[in-house]
Chains A and B, each alone.
Chain A
Amino acid sequence: MEDVSLFAIAINGIFVKNFLLVQFLGLCSFLGVSKETKSAVGMSAAVMFVMILASTAAFLIYEFLLKPFGLTFLTTISFIIIIAALVQLVEFIIRKFSPPLYRSLGIFLPLITTNCAILGVVILNVRLEYGFIESVFYGFTAGVGYTMVMLLMSSIREKCTVLRIPEAVQGIPHAFFITTLLSMAFVNFFGVIPT
C-alpha cells in the first residue's frame, strides 16, 4: 500500500468520490428518504454512525480472522453478517439508553442493513488496502459526504413542493433531474486529487 494522507482520503470521500452522486451507492434509500429534511437528517446520522462502526469491525475481522486463515472468499458473506449484527446491536443499545434518540433514529436502522453504501464502504476499504486508521476515517468521511448530499437534496426537494411540475415528471423523475444538476457540480471535483 502506498502512503495516503488522511486529508486526501477526506477530500476523496466527501467530494471526489462522493458515495451518492459519483459512485451511485445508497441511491434507493436516498430517493425515498430525501423528501423532507427531518427524515434526511435521521437517516444520514444513522448511516454515518453505522459506517464508522462497520468499517472498524470489518477491518478487524478481515485482518485478524479472514486473512490469516485464508478465508478471503468469505469476505462478502461475513461483511453482510457483521453489518446486520451491528445494526441490531446498535438498535438494542439505543433503545435501552436513549429512547428519544431511538424514536428519531430507530425507524431508519433496519433500512441500513441492505443499504449498499455501508457494504460499499467496507468492501472499498478492503479493495483499496487501507490500514486501520484509514479505514475508519474513510468510513467517517464517506458518511460526511452522504450527509451533505442528503441535506442538499432534501432542502431542494422541500422547496420544489410549491412548483408546478408536469404530471409525468412528478416524483422520482423530478428527483433524478435535481440529482443530475447536483452531480454535475460534483463532477468538477474530478482531478482535484492527482492519481
Chain B
Amino acid sequence: MAEKTILGEYLRGIVKDNPVLALVLGLCPALAVTTSVENAIGMSGAALFVLLGSNVMISALRKQIPPIIRIPMFIIIICTFVTIIDMVMEAYTPPLYKALGIFIPLIVVNCIIIGRAEAYAIKNNVKYSIVDAFGIGTGFLVVLVAIGAIRELLGTGAIVLFGFKLISIPIYSDTPATFMILPAGAFMTIGVLMALVNYNRIRKLKKGA
C-alpha cells in the first residue's frame, strides 16, 4: 500500500470504501430514514458524531484494549456516544428526533461504526482515525442525501430543506408518485444506485484489461 496521506484517506472513505454502496454496510438506516433530504442529513450527522467519537476513543485506547474482549469494549464505547447524541437530539431537535424514531438508538448496532472500529481504529493512530471517521461519515452522508433527494423529489415533487423549497417540478408535483416515499421505493432506489455503481466498475475493469 502506498503511503497514507490525509487527503487520500479522506477520499477513500467517500469513493472506494463508501460504506453503503461499496461495503454494503449500514443499510437499515440508509433506507428507513431517507424519505426526505432533511432526515438524511440528520441521520448522517448523528452517525458521523458517533463514528468520530468511537474512532477517537478506540484508537486512543488501542494499546490498552485486550484483543479478546475488544468487541464488548467497542460496543460499550459506541453505546456511550449513541446515548449522548440520543439525549442531545431529544432535547434540541424534537421534530427530527421524532422523524428518525428508533433509528437513533439503533446506531449502536450499525455495522459501519463497529466495522470501522475493527478494521481501522484499532490499528491506526488517532490522527488517521479522525480522518477516516470524517471520510466514512461523508461517504455515508453523500449516499443518504442522494437516496433522500431522489425519493423526496419523485415522491412529493419537491425538495424542502429546513423550510425552504429548493427544487420543485411544476406539473409533476400535483400528482407525484407516492410509491417512492413508501418502503418499496427505497429498495428500488438503492437497487438502481448499486446497479449503476457496479456497471461503472465493470466498465472500468474492461477498459483496464
Contacts and interface: CB of A to CB of B under 8 A. Distances in A.
Q: Are A and B interaction partners?
A: yes
A176 B194 contact: yes
A119 B108 contact: yes
Given A116-B106, A123-B106, A167-B202, A173 B187 contact: no
Number of contact residues on A: which range applies? 35 or more
A65 to B, nearest CB: 17
A173 B87 contact: no
Given A76-B79, A76-B82, A173-B194, A24 B102 contact: no
B102 to A, nearest CB: 5
Given A28-B27, A120-B102, A187-B184, A80 B109 contact: yes
A23 interface: yes
A27 B82 CA distance: 20
Contact of A184 (B80, B102, B184): B184
Nearest to A74: B83
Contacts of A76: 79, 82-83, 86, 105, 108
Interface of A: 21-28, 31, 73-77, 80-81, 84, 114-116, 119-120, 123-124, 127, 167-174, 176-177, 179-181, 183-184, 186-187
Q: Main SS of chain B's interface residues?
A: helix
Nearest to B76: A77
B183 A168 contact: no
Contact of B111 (A114, A168, A177): A114
Contacts of B25: 28
B167 interface: no
Nearest to A119: B109
Contacts of A177: 187-188, 191
Interface residues of B, number: 41
Listed from nearest, the 4 A-B pairs whose CB atoms lie closest are A176-B191, A168-B199, A24-B32, A183-B184
A39 B31 CA distance: 24
A172 B184 CA distance: 16
B79 A31 contact: no
A183 B187 CA distance: 8
B83 A176 contact: no
Q: Main SS of chain A's interface residues?
A: helix
Contact of A172 (B24, B83, B199): B24
Contacts of A27: 27-28, 31
B186 interface: yes
A24 B189 CA distance: 14
**Listed residue (A22, A75, A115, A176) with the most chain B CB atoms within 10 angstroms of its CB:** A176
Nearest to B80: A77
A176 B202 contact: no
A125 B121 CA distance: 34
B191 A28 contact: no
B46 interface: no
A27 B15 CA distance: 23
Contacts of B76: 77, 81
Interface string B29-56: 1011000000000000000000000000
Contact of A123 (B105, B111, B188, B194): B105
A77 B194 contact: no
Contacts of A116: 28, 106, 109-110
B168 interface: no
Given A28-B27, A31-B27, A84 B195 contact: no
Nearest to B190: A176
Contacts of A168: 195-196, 198-199, 202
Nearest to B201: A168
B182 A180 contact: no
B183 A22 contact: yes
Contacts of B202: 167-168
